[in-house]
Amino acid sequence: MIRKEIVIVFICFCGLIFIACDQVTSIKLNSTEKVLLLGQTDSLIVTLDGKGDFNKVSVKWTSSNSCVQVINGKIQGVSKGTSTITVKSGTETASCNITVKDDIVLNFDKNYFIYYGDLYQVNVSGQALLIMTGSTDTLGLYVDVPLSTRTLSSGSYSFMGYYVQDYTEIVPYTILPGYLDANKKQRLSWYYGQIDCPIVGGQMIVSQNSGIYTIQINVKDNNGNKIHGTSQGVLYYSNMSSASGMNSEKSNFFKITHKPIDFCTK
């Protein structure tokens, strides 16, 4: 009887030691504040301190507002607002304040215009890619211009809002929205910077005086972020309407973008 009681006490004592060994005494996150755009993702890294095997320790993540989604430390901006992300293990907690915004202010210093010509061969408009670059942002807009001008004409340009099947619908002063093709390649109008995403709507206003272009951008991406700004300066022009012109200038075209933008041909 005495031996049995000793064995029971010994087992209980060992169990207490085992529980005490897997104990978190402090928990930290790699950041206390973050800013996200709509659709943007990031990760919070948790550091545990204590004793034992942390693989056996339970860690729970919560978000105080549905504007931010969190799954095992990966966060994503869902809607505009603020949220506190809390991670908890045992009695220990750590938190990070997240602000989700939907506004991107552009700051460009160079503009490039690559003219392709009448790619669709329907004698309606000329296709071109307008690339606007800054220290951190690149915006590429696939624009349609009058065949008679072969350059970026002054006026108001608006998005067609969908990818047409009948090429005669692609008329001057329109912009085609960006999309991913079947091979997940980025096509037509895209923004690269704080987030990489297709541009799907909005407006561009262009004016020109003695070779100096003023380009006002007010567009939106597929997540709903508003992207806007004004660029003023010369327009670097490349005519790639012939096969030889495209081949000779293709390498230079890729050098001037922060990230490669696919050539969009018929």
68-90: pLDDT as tens digits: 999 999 999 999 999 999 999 88
Mean of the per-residue pLDDT values of the chain = 82
Q: Which residue has the tokens 């943007």?
A: 40
Taking the C-alpha atoms of residue 93 and residue 80, their distance in angstroms, rounded to an integer, is 25
DSSP 259: S
Taking the C-alpha atoms of residue 64 and residue 88, their distance in angstroms, rounded to an integer, is 13
For residue 186, what pLDDT is reported?
84
pLDDT of 156 higher than 80: yes
119-141: pLDDT as tens digits: 888 898 999 999 999 888 899 99
Count how many residues are written for the chain: 266
Tally the C-alpha atoms within 13 A of residue 42's C-alpha that lie toward its C-beta: 21
Answer for the pair 125, 213: CB distance below 8 angstroms, yes or no.
no
What residues have CB less than 8 Å from 83, skipping those under 6 apart? 63, 64, 65, 66, 67, 68, 97, 98, 100
Query: Which two three-digit tokens encode residue 98?
Result: 């997240």
With pLDDT > 90 as the criterion, what percentage of the chain qualifies?
A: 52
For residue 90, what pLDDT is reported?
85
Taking the C-alpha atoms of residue 119 and residue 190, their distance in angstroms, rounded to an integer, is 20
- Averaged pLDDT for residues 98-113: 93
Q: DSSP secondary structure string, 86-143? A: EEEETTEEEEEEEEEE-EEE----EEEEEEEE-TT-SSS-EEEEEEEE-SS-EEEEEE
pLDDT of 253 higher than 50: no
DSSP 178: P
User: Which of 71, 101, 42, 74 shows the shortest CA–CA distance to 223?
Assistant: 101
- Averaged pLDDT for residues 182-205: 89
Q: For residue 11, what pLDDT band results from cuts at 50, 70 and 90?
A: very low
Of the chain, the end-to-end C-alpha distance in Å amounts to 90
Amino acid (1-letter code) at residue 114: I
Lowest mean pLDDT among 10-19, 38-47, 55-64, 85-94: 10-19
For residue 19, what pLDDT is reported?
45
With pLDDT > 70 as the criterion, what percentage of the chain qualifies?
A: 79
Q: 165: buried, middle or exposed (CB in 10 Å: 19+, 13-18, 0-12)?
A: exposed
DSSP 20: H
- Averaged pLDDT for residues 159-163: 73
For residue 252, what pLDDT is reported?
43
- Averaged pLDDT for residues 18-43: 84
pLDDT of 41 higher than 60: yes
Answer for the pair 145, 99: CB distance below 8 angstroms, yes or no.
no
For residue 10, what pLDDT is reported?
41
Q: Is 177 helix (H, G, I), strand (E, B) or coil?
A: coil
What residues have CB less than 8 Å from 121, skipping those under 6 apart? 266
Q: 31 or 150: which carries more pLDDT confidence?
A: 31
Ordered structural domains, the chain, with CATH: 25-101 (2.60.40.1080), 104-255 (no CATH)
For residue 149, what pLDDT is reported?
87
- Averaged pLDDT for residues 178-200: 87
For residue 162, what pLDDT is reported?
61
Number of Cβ within 10 Å of residue 253's Cβ equals: 18
Answer for the pair 137, 193: CB distance below 8 angstroms, yes or no.
yes
Greatest Cα-to-Cα distance within the chain, rounded to the nearest angstrom: 106
